Amino acid sequence: MSVGVYDVTDGKTVYLMLPEGLSGDQFYLTNLAWDPSGTSLYIAWLNRDTNQIKLMCFDATTGTFVRTLFTESDEQWCEPEQPVHFIPGNPREFLWFSRRNGFNNLYRYNTDGVLLGSTRAAFEIDDIIGFDPLGASVFVHARGINPTEVHIYRINLPDMQMTRCGDTPGVHQGQLSGSGQYLLDTYSNLEVPSKTDLLSASGKVERNLLTSPNPLQEKRYGQTELFTVNGTDGTALWCRLIKPSDFDPTRKYPVLVYVYNGPHVQLVTNNWLGGASLWMNHFAEEGYLVFTLDGRGSAHRGEAFEQAIYRQLGTAELEDQLAGVAWLKQQSFVDSTRMAVHGWSFGGFMTTALMLKAPGTFKAGVAGGAVIDWNLYEVMYTERYMDTPAQNPEGYAAADLSRIVKNLQGKLLMIHGMDDDVVVLQHHMRFVKACVDNKVQIDTFLYPGHAHNVRGKDRVHLIRQVLDYVKENN
């Protein structure tokens, strides 16, 4: 890998020269940023094992390596996702995101690599909204004590102290004015479809600009509850349960579990409809409970929560999903003999794993775009969580679902886009071939012309197919 700087005036390209010992081909160069003067480039060098980061500075004119500002390492994985953010009015200071204390925090450095301060939040800071023009403070989106919510925080840069702007529960999206004096705060929660307030920089509500009416107020639709259940290790796991609008606690209802439970995704959020797609509320009106749980490995709960999956994809996640199933079975209104599961991509992997590693739990499963063998998946993503196949052959073998097709009980529909360039079609074909070889009967469906997700008008066909299959077999 190399990075070149192209000069638009003379058409020449200068390539950055890595220091001795860091060249070769077993590394990544990522999170590139210019300094305010446009004369230096800052890049995060990441090793192939993704357990070490070096933040490096280069002369953009000559390509010469200037210095390594600092090095970070982690026994499981490092994952730099944002470049340096220079502080307005101070071209020698910048902010850097790091999870070195277990949660995503901001660290203030100077360009010599000297640490000047940091936030100390025991929750995730997601991203930067903007700086005030003088560079005295920065506004961010952060989780706070409830990971299903997003709030706006102001950070005072001299001491890196954080102050929350507003106290309304929900998922907030902030936009900072050019003057840095005002914020637009657009948010929703289970009770509020959408509101936009004008806030002062201190977080005080100056006025409400827009309150949206409930767009479904004339409709009957499933009602959403958010709560936690304890996993087998005692971790509180956030759940979403959608019930029919005419829910009767004396009845027993069949269940559809909708699952993802993979990295970088959070399904359960305290915004309008609880993060659910509207088809889930519709399906609840057809007499189903629709249940979702964000288990270990999913996003916005901190490093330890996410790294529980290290070298064993589909293990801790399976335990947590089954903890959710155990909770469901304890409810008097759940028909535990009629449970189905559905998910896409990592959720397709989890759906298939649940059908094969916990046989008999679900009567039916619908797996879309499912990863079957992690040897066939994208290198940087897979090796971050699993290391290389040579380093972790047992982990790859345990996660290869084509090896355990004989465990299948119940009905399984496998769906795949024929042009899928993320989870390539080879995954699907390998699984089907294993079923044929082992005389295991499954149902399959391919979507011609579609990539990893079935989008556009054909998505109506997809959702109808999923729900019809669940009803017919559960």
Distance between CA atoms of residues 292 and 302, nearest Å: 20
Our answer to whether residue 452 is catalytic in this structure is yes
Count CB-CB contacts under 10 A for residue 39: 10
- Give the CA dihedral 378, 381, 382, 383, nearest 10 degrees: 110
Our answer to whether residue 59 is catalytic in this structure is no
Q: Give me the catalytic one of 132, 400, 420, 428.
A: 420
Q: Give me the catalytic one of 345, 387, 400, 402.
A: 345
Question: Over the range 70-103, which residues count as b (16 or more CB within 10 Å of their CB) and which as e?
Answer: bebebebbbbbebbbbbbbebeebbbbbbbeeeb
**Cβ–Cβ < 8 Å for 411, 363:** yes
Our answer to whether residue 420 is catalytic in this structure is yes
Structure tokens at 8: 């638009």
Rounded to a whole number of angstroms, the CA Rg of the chain reads 25
Assign 7 to helix, strand or coil. Answer: coil
Sheet of 182-188: strands edge to edge? Answer: 171-176, 182-188, 195-200, 205-211
DSSP for 343-364?
Answer: EETHHHHHHHHHHHHSTTS-SE
From the centroid of its chain, how far is CA 359? 28
Structure tokens at 165: 């702007």
Distance between CA atoms of residues 294 and 323, nearest Å: 11
Q: Give me the catalytic one of 59, 194, 264, 452.
A: 452
Structure tokens at 346: 């990592």
By annotation, the residues acting in catalysis are 345, 420, 452
